[in-house]
Structure 1
Amino acid sequence: MFQILSVLVTVLAFASIAQSTGVIVPLYAWPGTDVWNTVYESIAAHPSTPFYLIVNPSTGPGATEYPEDAYITAIAKLNSYSNAKVLGYTYTNHGSRAISEVESDIATYAKWSTYAGTDISVAGVFFDQTPSGEDPSFLPYFQQLSSTTKGSNLNTVVFNPGVKIVADVEAWFAAADFIVEYENTYTNWLALAPSEHFSGEANYAKDAIILNQTPADASIDTVAKLAKNLGLGAIYLTYDDNYMGLTSVSKIAVAVSQRRKVKRRGHSHQ
C-alpha cells in the first residue's frame, strides 16, 4: 500500500506542473565524477519546474541488459525527484534505420524497470534524427514506434527532427508528447521571428527547442520568457554543440522557473 501511495504522490506531483514550460536536457556526458551534480541541484532547487533528462549510455541503451554502475547510480538519483522524467535516447537515421533495431532499444529501456534494488526506470524515449514530414511514407514508421513505446509502459515520446514539421502536422503531433521543432544555434534562432520556427501555434504546448552554441553573454532569460509566453513545452540552451557541457543548466532552470510577468493597465505584476 505504501508503494502505491508513493507512486500516486509522484504522479500527482508531476501532473500539477505538467502544463509549465519545462527544461529538456541532453544528458550525454558520462555521469561519473559528479558531472551531473549541477543537474541534480537544479532539479531540487526548482520543484515546480518539470525536467526531461535524456540519458544516452552508448548512442542508445547499449548492448547490455542494464547500464553500467555509474549510470545506475545517476539515474536512480534522477528518479528520486518527483519533477524529473528520465528519457532514453535512441536514433532513427531519419526513418531509414531498421525499425526492429529501434524497437530493440525500446525493449532494453523498458527492461530497466526490472532492475532489482533501485529505480532506474525511464519514463519514455527520445527519438533522434526524425524526419520533418516532407515524405509522408515515414509517418507510419514513427506511429508504430510511438505505439510500441507507450505499449511498453514508456509513456513520454519525443521526436527530434530539429526543424519544423512541414506536412501531416497533426498526425505527427498526435504520435508524440513533444517534438523538437528547433535544434540549431542561438544565432540562427534570432535570425527569424519565433513563430517561423514552428509548424503552428496550436501545438506550442508540445513544442521543444534546443539552442546550441549560445554565446556566454546571451540572454537566457529572454529566451525563457519568450518560451513561457508562447506556452512552449520545454527548452534548453547550451554553450557548446555536443551537449557535453552542463554549466548552462542552472541558469536555464532559474530563468524558466521565474514567474511570468503579466502586464495590466500599464503595470507589471509578479
Structure 2
Amino acid sequence: MLVLTALSALLAVVPVYATTGIIVPLYQFPSTSATWAPLETAMSTFPSMQFYIIINPFSGPGDADSQPDPAYQSSIQTLRTHSNALLVGYVATGDGTRASADVLQDIETYAGWDASYGMDGIFFDQTQTGFDAEYTSYSDAVRNTAWPGRATGYVIMNPGDDIGNSDYYSLADQIVTFEDTFAKFQQESPIPLPHPAQQSVIIHTFTGPGVSDQTLSSVVQTIKSAGFASTYITDRNISVEDVYADFGTDFTQFVADVAA
C-alpha cells in the first residue's frame, strides 16, 4: 500500500498538462525483422500515441561520417513508415567529461545519414544535473541542422535526475528527470515537476515484493495524470541484465496502460 499511497499523493497536487507518450531506449541490434517487432506492433496498435525512439548503434552513431549497418538502415526505414515514430540518435556526453568536439561530431554523423533512415534529432545521455554552457552549443547544433521531415531538430537530454536550473528547459524539448529502479522511484516520489510537459521518467527493474499488474497500471496512471511528456517502464532487472537490451515481459501491458 505504500506504493499506492505515495502515488496518490503525487496525483493530488499535480494538474494534467499533456498527453504522455512513450520513450523507448531501443538499444538492440536488429539482427532479424523480429527484433523490433514488439515496438512496431505497439505503434500500429496505438497510432495516435507518440513514440520517442532512441537509436543507439554503438553508444553513438559509430565512426565519424559513417552510415549505419544495413540491418539498421532497413529496420529504421520500417520504423519511419509509422507517423507516430519520432527517432533520436544516441549521443553520450560522459557527465561533462567527453570532449565537446566528439559530441558535435556524433551529431554531424547522425545528420549525415540518408533521409530514408535518418533521425529527427538527438538524445544526449549522461548530461549533468547542473546547467553546463556547452549544452547550449549541443542544442543549437541539433536545432540548426536539417533533419528528415523536421524544420528543427528534436532535443532530449538525460541527466536522469532532478535539475536545479530552469534554464536547462530552454535547451531541450524533453529532459529525463528520473531514470532508475522502481524501488528508487518509490523512495523519491513525488518527483519534482517544474515543467512536466517537458519531463520524462524512465523506470527499470520494475520488480519486487507486491509488484503486480495493478501496480504497473497505477504507476502509469500517476505518470499520465502528472502530465509527463513521456515514460518507459520495464521489468528487466539491472542487477542481472542489460535493462535496455530487450523489451520487458511487461512491455505489451505497459504500452496499453499508457494508451488507456
Band the TM-score falls in, shorter-chain normalisation: 0.7 to 0.9
Provide the aligned length of Structure 1 versus Structure 2: 227
1:193 and 2:189 correspond: yes
Query: Within 5 A, what are the aligned runs for 1:168-207?
Result: 168=165, 170-194=166-190, 197-198=191-192, 201-207=193-199
Map 1:148-227 → 2, pairs under 5 A: 148-154=141-147, 155-166=153-164, 168=165, 170-194=166-190, 197-198=191-192, 201-215=193-207, 217=212, 219-227=215-223
Residue matched to 1:105: 106
- Contact 1:184/1:212, CA 8 A, preserved across alignment: yes
CA distance in structure 2 between the aligned counterparts of 1:237 and 1:83, rounded to whole angstroms: 19
TM-score, length-scaled by structure 2: 0.83
Percentage of identical aligned residues: 31
Of residues 230, 234, 239 in structure 2, which corresponds to 1:238?
Answer: 234
Larger RCO (alpha carbons 8 Å, 6+ apart)? 2
Contact 1:160 1:180 in 2 (8 A): yes
Q: How does 1:1-270 map to 2 (within 5 A)?
A: 19-33=18-32, 34-63=34-63, 65-114=66-115, 119-133=116-130, 136=131, 139-154=132-147, 155-166=153-164, 168=165, 170-194=166-190, 197-198=191-192, 201-215=193-207, 217=212, 219-240=215-236, 241=238, 242=242, 243-247=244-248, 248-258=250-260
Between the aligned partners of 2:196 and 2:52, the Cα distance in structure 1 is: 17
What secondary structure is seen at the aligned counterpart in 1 of 2:112? helix
Distance in 1 of aligned mates of 2:175 and 2:112 = 25
The range that moved more, 249-258 or 41-50, is 249-258
Structure 1 Cα separation of the partners of residues 159 and 223 of structure 2: 19
Shift of 1:192: 2.9
Q: Counterpart of 1:156 in structure 2: which amino acid? A: Y
Q: Which amino acid aligns with 2:118?
A: S
Q: Tell me which stretches of 4 or more aligned residues in structure 1 moved more than 3 Å.
A: none
Q: Which consecutive unaligned segments of at least 5 residues does structure 1 have?
A: 1-17, 259-270
